[in-house]
Amino acid sequence: MRMRFCLGVGVILATLTGCGSPPAKVQPDAEPAARNVPARQGTIGFSALTLKNPFFKVIADSLADEARRHGFEVIVSDAERDVQEQTKHVENYLAQGVTAIVLNPTDRIAIAPAIKKANEAGVPVFTCDLECEVQEVDVAGHVGTDNYQGGKLAGQAMIEVLGDGGGDVLILHFKQANSCVERVRGFREVVDRHNEGRTSGKIHIVAELEGGGLQDQGFRAAADALQAHPNLNAIFAINDPSALGAWTALQQVGKTEHVKIIGFDGQLEGKQAIKEGKIYADPIQFPEKMGVLTMQNILKYLDGEPFEPVTYIPTELYRKADADRDPALQ
């Protein structure tokens, strides 16, 4: 993945998981001059991984809000996790003459030809949350979560919740997304380090199943795992929807008190589940900041200003104590 206007790669910011019809448009303010912003300057096409997941809806909303502040219109389209549908979105954006394209790549490899089409048309492509891992295409900028760091926090939370006894663990994965691959990589690294030199209290990853990053698919995968591994002690789910699906599977067999869940994301539903004791902890992400920073990078690109081409926002571990004092849950 080549970057333009590069100051440095892999910069970590210390602070801060419509098809078949014309994509819905997010309209700019009717009177931008009244808010002391410039007249509409262009259109941004945003193809989200799936708007069924609230996380990506937050990115879309924050991107559109920041774009409106600068006089831009945003076209938001739902790829529904389908790389072919997302490719159509890119083609439609190019036909409409958009100023820039933002993608949550539905597939870290297979999205490359669509990005290449935009490259050939001279339209800059920015990725958000999910990355393209093909080096031969030109991605102007990326803003996402430090998923590897978040996976390590999930591993630490798993060690914490299982205690000295260790136990059998299921991973609910979504291998189609590079972000989830990095989460599991960080998680496994911490677990492997924990197990080194131990004769007891080890954490055994007994299965790694495809949960699709969705609640219903996470439910089915967890239900299958509970039959195959009746002595399961814990589950690491790569996002909140799959974690909530896993909890429903535990509820159906009366094991919600015996099997602990570590999630990922920090969506409102996930935070509420942590408060209620359904999920033990989440490394939480900051999707609002992703949308805002992505739009700010687009503006800098268009103005010829330098910007960090890759920004990874660290996660923070969120437990019940955090949920109990979270004003969003009061």
What average pLDDT does the chain have?
Answer: 89
Q: Could you write out the DSSP letters of every residue in 112-164?
A: HHHHHHHHHHT--EEEESS----TTSB--EEEEE-HHHHHHHHHHHHHHHHGG
211 or 35: whose pLDDT is higher?
Answer: 211
Cβ(58)–Cβ(102) under 8 Å?
Answer: no
Q: Give the model's confidence band at 10: pLDDT under 50 very low, under 70 low, under 90 confident, else very high.
A: very low
User: For the chain, what percent of residues have pLDDT higher than 70?
Assistant: 88
Would you state the pLDDT for residue 265? 94
Phi-psi domain of 110 (left: phi exceeds 0; alpha: psi -120 through 50; beta: other): alpha
pLDDT at 22 over 50: no
Q: Specify the length of the chain in residues.
A: 330
pLDDT at residue 178 in the model: 85
Across 162-186, average pLDDT = 94
Burial of residue 180 (CB within 10 Å: 0-12, 13-18, 19+) is: buried
β-strand pairing of 72-78 with 234-237: unpaired
- pLDDT surpasses 90 at 32: no
Q: Please state, for a pLDDT cut of 90, what percent of the chain lies above it.
A: 84
Residue 217 · residue 211 · CB < 8 Å:
yes
**Residue 33 banded pLDDT, cuts 50, 70, 90:** very low
250: CB partners within 8 A, 6+ apart: 222, 226, 256, 259, 261
Query: Residues 307-319: what's their mean pLDDT?
Result: 97
- CATH number 3.40.50.2300 given to 11-145+286-314: yes
**28 near 40, Cβ under 8 Å?**
yes
Residues 203 and 169: beta-carbon distance below 8 Å = yes
Arch. (CATH architecture) of 147-284+320-329: 3-Layer(aba) Sandwich (3.40)
Tell me which DSSP letter residue 304 carries.
T
Question: Can you give the pLDDT at residue 105?
Answer: 95
Range scoring the smallest mean pLDDT among 25-29, 202-206, 295-299: 25-29
Q: Is the pLDDT of residue 19 over 70?
A: no
Q: Report the alpha-carbon distance of residue 49 to residue 59 in Å, rounded.
A: 11
Phi first, then psi: what are they for 232, rounded to 5°?
-60, 135
Checking if the pLDDT of 321 tops 80, the result is yes
Residue owning tokens 């999205």: 111
Q: Specify the pLDDT at position 11.
A: 39
Instruction: Report the SS3 class of residue 85.
Output: helix
pLDDT at 41: 80
Helix (H, G, I), strand (E, B), or coil: what is residue 258?
Answer: coil
Residue type for position 30 = A
pLDDT score recorded for residue 54 = 87
Mean pLDDT, residues 244-255: 98
Cα–chain center distance at 306: 26
Q: What is the pLDDT of residue 3?
A: 45
Q: How many CB atoms lie within 10 A of CB 150?
A: 29
Residue with tokens 């409106």: 68
At residue 269 the predicted structure's pLDDT band, cuts being 50, 70 and 90, is very high
The pLDDT confidence band at residue 330, using thresholds 50, 70 and 90, is confident
The reply to whether domains 11-145+286-314 and 147-284+320-329 share a CATH topology is: yes
DSSP string covering 9-39, please? SSEE------TTSPPEEEPPPS-GGGGT-PP
Which pLDDT tens digit goes with each residue over 72-126?
A: 999 999 999 999 999 999 999 999 999 999 999 999 899 999 999 999 999 999 9
Could you tell me the residue ranges of all domains in the chain? 11-145+286-314, 147-284+320-329
Taking CA 244 as the corner, what is the angle to CA 241 and CA 249, rounded to the nearest 5 degrees? 130
First vs last Cα of the chain: how many Å apart?
43
pLDDT at 71: 95
255 by Cβ neighbours in 10 Å (0-12 / 13-18 / 19+) ranks as middle
Give residue 207's pLDDT. Answer: 97
For range 284-312, the mean pLDDT: 96
Q: Give the residue, 30 or 173, on which the prediction is more confident.
A: 173
Q: What is the pLDDT of residues 217-243, one digit of tens each?
A: 999 999 999 999 999 999 999 999 999
Around Cβ 68, how many Cβ atoms within 10 Å?
Answer: 20
For 221, list phi and psi in degrees, rounded to 5: -65, -45
